[in-house]
Chains A and B, each alone.
Chain A
């Protein structure tokens, strides 16, 4: 036997030997960072006894892009594209949340129509976010079909975004003070047909999983968390509600006229994967209700507020009107005048309370901008939730928590 071959055969024996000794012993395995089942770049070093997880250690930060530092160098209207890249499954919520934060600082008066338009868009984004998360839970339990149907519906939502702002994933939707244009006729047609066809398609998809015996057996009791622990770990959003706590920013601190709408906050009981799935499914139905109410009662009025310091003037005016030209120049160069002060504003994002803590010293950029990224805070609970569970349970627990790498790592 040549030396090369000897080496190979030795390492093979070693491999099988170690495999033998694993049985009954503790093994260390890497779950991630780039594993298809993590749906993002997360590393978990699991210590397992057979299939059972004894402990796990998390590493985060693989796609850290220094958003908070970047924000200290960007004028206010240039920060919106940064927020796109937090929870990229529901970017419009992040964009509009940021606009509302700045509007709070400049104390702009926002027309009712803008509020309702925002509600429609934010609820569409919530549906898109929950569709992805819930279909991924399906995939991880082995139901790959459940991935394809919701994506048809999500495509329609993305077409609606496209009608408003021209973009699909990283939307940069809206402006400080409102929108760049009113809903187009094509948007009205598409939204009407979406509202007509979506509930049927959704319930068809929902019936595939919600009462499916195999799916229920797989997800019930998996990755549970008690309401006390969920609160201690700073859970918000559907994950907290699945544990039975009915905290929702839309209700506790209504923004963008959410107080005008009638909707239910679904809560779970056990805080396990099944409850998280079911809470999201019900939230999709409630979002449709909110959209129907907002669209049905869409007030007349302007699609933008009167904030010439922040809202770009019409192009025609820029070329013909001196004042508009000055405002255009000031906004593009980032020389708007902004009051100093400290603001905390939060919105109900796709996966929890998305907050913006903004300190302005009156300069052209924020002095400090901190994002409250919900999944950065609640992902800490993951080791506690999967201890004692099997590896395959760890996979569906992770996907049902809706941890988005972009938001986690900022």
Chain B
């Protein structure tokens, strides 16, 4: 059975109730925001729900919003219900002072490396993760490269002023 995004929205709202802080349909995917400290139980609920059956974790990753005070980081989950041929996006925001969230590796084993990658690039730590260490970058690196404060190009160069190239 194929669900529409509107049907999904009402079903998810019925299931999660007040746990949904915000929900909107962005292009073709329903996107809901939930509290970071409840993420594990919410995803478990969506996964185990007989009707919805979000049994496949498509991707998991981080986003950095330096301007949003106390909501600097977002962890974004895309789950997929093959029964209903529909995807759902979950977002949980974290403060820069304590970027940590529960791991969902016990629910979806494939989250293991995706969480490690998010840690590697954003410094978001995942509680109860079996093996949280860097994955693509070298272990001795002392910064988190996908955070917005790290410029891509060498900051000491003076011959490449971005303003002259119409950038930023």
Which A residues have a C-beta under 8 Å from some C-beta of B?
A: 60-61, 64, 66, 68-70, 72-73, 104-105, 231-234, 247, 252-253, 333-335, 341-344, 346, 353, 355, 357, 359, 364, 367-368, 370, 372, 376-380, 409-410
Contacts and interface: CB of A to CB of B under 8 A. Distances in A.
Contacts, number: 88
Nearest to B147: A69
A343 B28 CA distance: 8
A380 B135 contact: no
A25 B28 CA distance: 56
B109 A344 contact: no
Given A104-B27, A343-B27, A377 B113 contact: yes
Task: Name A's interface SS.
Answer: mixed
**Which 10 pairs of residues, A with B, have the shortest CB-CB distance?**
A234-B110, A61-B136, A64-B136, A372-B59, A370-B61, A232-B109, A73-B152, A333-B166, A342-B26, A233-B110
A372 B27 contact: no
B10 to A, nearest CB: 21
Contact of B108 (A69, A232, A355): A232
A344 B152 contact: no
A247 to B, nearest CB: 6
B112 interface: yes
A72 B153 CA distance: 12
Contacts of B146: 68-69
Given A68-B146, A359-B63, A372 B136 contact: no
29 contacts: A61-B137, A66-B145, A68-B121, A68-B146, A69-B145, A69-B150, A104-B27, A104-B28, A231-B56, A232-B108, A232-B109, A233-B109, A233-B110, A234-B108, A247-B82, A252-B82, A333-B166, A342-B26, A344-B58, A355-B58, A357-B59, A357-B61, A367-B63, A370-B61, A372-B58, A376-B117, A377-B110, A378-B110, A380-B113
Contacts of A334: 166-167
B18 to A, nearest CB: 24
Nearest to A363: B168
Nearest to A408: B136
Interface string B110-123: 10111001000100
B85 interface: yes
Given A342-B27, A355-B78, 4 more contacts: A234-B110, A334-B166, A342-B31, A364-B167
Contacts of B27: 104-105, 341-343
Contact of A380 (B82, B85, B109): B109
Interface in B9-67: 26-29, 31, 55-59, 61, 63-64
B28 to A, nearest CB: 8
By CB atoms of chain A within 10 A, which of B59, B89, B137, B166 has the most? B59
Given A253-B85, A333-B166, A341-B27, A232 B110 contact: yes
B2 to A, nearest CB: 10
A368 B31 CA distance: 16
Contact of B58 (A64, A66, A342, A353): A353
Contact of B63 (A61, A368, A372): A368
Contacts of B121: 68
Nearest to B55: A231
B76 interface: yes
Contacts of A252: 82, 85
Interface string B131-145: 000011110000001
A132 B56 CA distance: 29
B96 to A, nearest CB: 17
A73 B145 CA distance: 13
B113 A376 contact: yes
Contacts of A357: 59, 61, 76, 78
A341 B26 contact: yes
B135 A60 contact: yes
A376 B115 CA distance: 12
A370 B108 CA distance: 19
A353 B113 CA distance: 17
Contacts of B110: 232-234, 377-378, 380
A209 to B, nearest CB: 31
B30 to A, nearest CB: 11
Contacts of B153: 73
A338 to B, nearest CB: 13
A255 to B, nearest CB: 11
Contacts of B137: 61, 64
